[in-house]
Amino acid sequence: MPPKKKLVKTFTLQLPAGQATPAPPVGPALGQHGVNIMEFVKRYNAETESQRGDIVPA
C-alpha cells in the first residue's frame, strides 16, 4: 500500500455533474495544489453521471 499523503488544503468547486473538463477554472484550481487533474475529472464525471445537469460540489 502506498504511503498516505498529508492533507495540505481543503477547497470546494461547484461543477456541472458529469461534465467537468480540465479547462479553466478546474485545471488551474486543481493544478496549483498538485492534484492530478485528469484523474480528478475522470472520477468526478463517472461518479456524478447520474446527476448530469445539476451543479454538484466537488
- Supply the range of the domain harboring residue 19: 14-57
pTM of the model: 0.78
- Give bridge partners of residue 55 from the DSSP assignment: 16
Question: Domain containing 44 — which CATH number?
Answer: 3.30.1550.10
Q: Note the pLDDT tens digit of each residue in 5-49.
A: 777 788 888 999 999 999 998 899 888 888 899 999 999 999 999
pLDDT recorded at residue 17 = 93
As for how many domains the chain has, the answer is 1
Q: In sequence order, which ranges of 1-58 are alpha helices (DSSP H)?
A: 26-31, 37-48
Is residue 18 in a domain? Answer: yes
